[in-house]
Structure 1
């Protein structure tokens, strides 16, 4: 493995894909590319149990800090503020790596160092920033009945552009469309299922490119969607989300229901970065120092 900064081996690379609002049963029934990858042996799938409350901003923070909302303190979207304490983003930067994001602007407010300003932060390319390479969308000025959202293939193309040009050690791709269409059509509606199919088709173009570049790719959701088009509660359709790994480095029983708090320490373990003590859930693989070996 080629040497990196100060003679250390180059850090591995991980991409986390978060499909907002995608419930587990919908992913298994509608996402033909993802499920064919499981059948063909390129990926594995588990059910993951989201933390409570099953709301987006709190769980964006949970996915990247390994702490439940009751522990990190963000309990709803309206209380959005910068995240405090260690996260995947801060750990990667401290280890000498870089991060990239294509996603909702909440991620900038949480982890980008300042509240989001669309005129300043819609595109970021700054190696000194907390998130060095980013493309954010705000979704301001629309409602669910008349939504105009980034096309899924455009989001995937932006993620690929960051990976291709900058190769950040950690890359996040976040899609909001299933959540939006779920609120409009409900978790059982054809519009919601069709949107899951569209996201899946776009990922079919992106994930093989990422794995060919050496990325370990993980795919999950923040929360699910109930049969009335809501989320926030404890029902299985709101808490059970898919978790797929396009890497052979993760280890869990095929029928095990995973703890959402394990995502952050698992990402760091794949990168060879020991996770901080605030991430109390065990990673799905063990961390090793940057010796060139993966977990």
Structure 2
């Protein structure tokens, strides 16, 4: 049986503030049970370019996403990793769930994750698109988590991407060294814990083999904000654990554009 993979994107997470702080015990557990890689993101350290690279495996020069406006992008020539998996094996089932519209909403700019309407109609691809920019990420992230847990528990997609933006939102308003940012990290970790429990159920009850992988697109300056080339803004990470199998062979170093190809290779592990 091929393994299944759930990639969780935590936008704007300062991993140096989260790791070992007690605020994100699920993140710590994933690291303790698996592997941890540091990533150095390309400049500009904005969500549009960052997630486009992480999700397609292509550098900025290829996908041409220069900022969060997506003007002139070449994403139609750079399929996301969910789509790449389906094109390689058309039995693959996929899920994308997030509250930042450019990532998943086909009605707006982008999206980075291809709509693949035919596969949605056939039940092989599911898209949960919500609008955190309008309704707030505290509320929308919780709704995204509900849908992700339901999908993983019920159907167990072969490959999933689930996205949370609460921490980034609070980082912009208050900065990362604040109670508000700490509270957001705690809320996101609660979502991670629920997803992890859903995966554990499928491993322990159904005998499946699962990867849970966590990453972010950029850090935050101490005063809040990002986009530049400072070390803290360019710092990202990959934390991965495998329930029901070995992580032997996972590389010691990674670049942002190597994450998607690595995950695709794990599907045939």
TM-score range, shorter chain: 0.7 to 0.9
Q: Which among 39, 42, 52 is matched to residue 48 of structure 1?
A: 39
1:291: which partner in 2? none
Partner Cα distance (1:37, 1:158) in 2: 21
Structure 1: gaps spanning 5 or more residues: 2-10, 115-120, 273-293
Q: 1:261 and 2:254 equivalent?
A: no
1:24: which partner in 2? 15
2:159: which partner in 1? 170
Instruction: After superposition, give the CA deviation of every residue in 1:4-23 in whole Å (9 maximum; x if it has no partner).
Output: xxxxxxx4311100000002
**What SS does structure 2 have at the residue aligned with 1:33?**
helix
Question: How far apart are 1:45 and its partner, in Å?
Answer: 2.1
Structure 2-normalised TM-score?
A: 0.81
Partner Cα distance (1:132, 1:245) in 2: 23
Judged with a 3 Å threshold, the aligned counterparts in structure 2 of structure 1 residues 148 and 223 are, in CA distance, closer, same or farther, namely closer
Q: 1:126 and 2:120 equivalent?
A: yes
Tell whether the 8 Å contact from 1:43 to 1:246 is kept in structure 2 after alignment. Answer: yes
Q: 1:158 and 2:158 equivalent?
A: no
Judged with a 3 Å threshold, the aligned counterparts in structure 2 of structure 1 residues 197 and 101 are, in CA distance, closer, same or farther, namely same
Structure 2: gaps spanning 5 or more residues: 105-110, 203-208
Tell whether the 8 Å contact from 1:98 to 1:169 is kept in structure 2 after alignment. Answer: yes
Q: 1:89 and 2:82 equivalent?
A: yes
Question: How far apart are 1:37 and its partner, in Å?
Answer: 4.2
Tell whether the 8 Å contact from 1:223 to 1:241 is kept in structure 2 after alignment. Answer: yes
**What SS does structure 1 have at the residue aligned with 2:69?**
helix
Structure 1-normalised TM-score?
A: 0.75
Question: How far apart are 1:208 and its partner, in Å?
Answer: 3.0
Runs of 4+ in 1 over 4 A off after TM superposition: none
1:75: which partner in 2? 66
2:108: which partner in 1? none
2:236: which partner in 1? 241
> How many residues align structurally?
246
**What SS does structure 1 have at the residue aligned with 2:12?**
coil
Q: 1:98 and 2:87 equivalent?
A: no
Tell whether the 8 Å contact from 1:24 to 1:47 is kept in structure 2 after alignment. Answer: no
Point out the structure with the larger helix share.
2
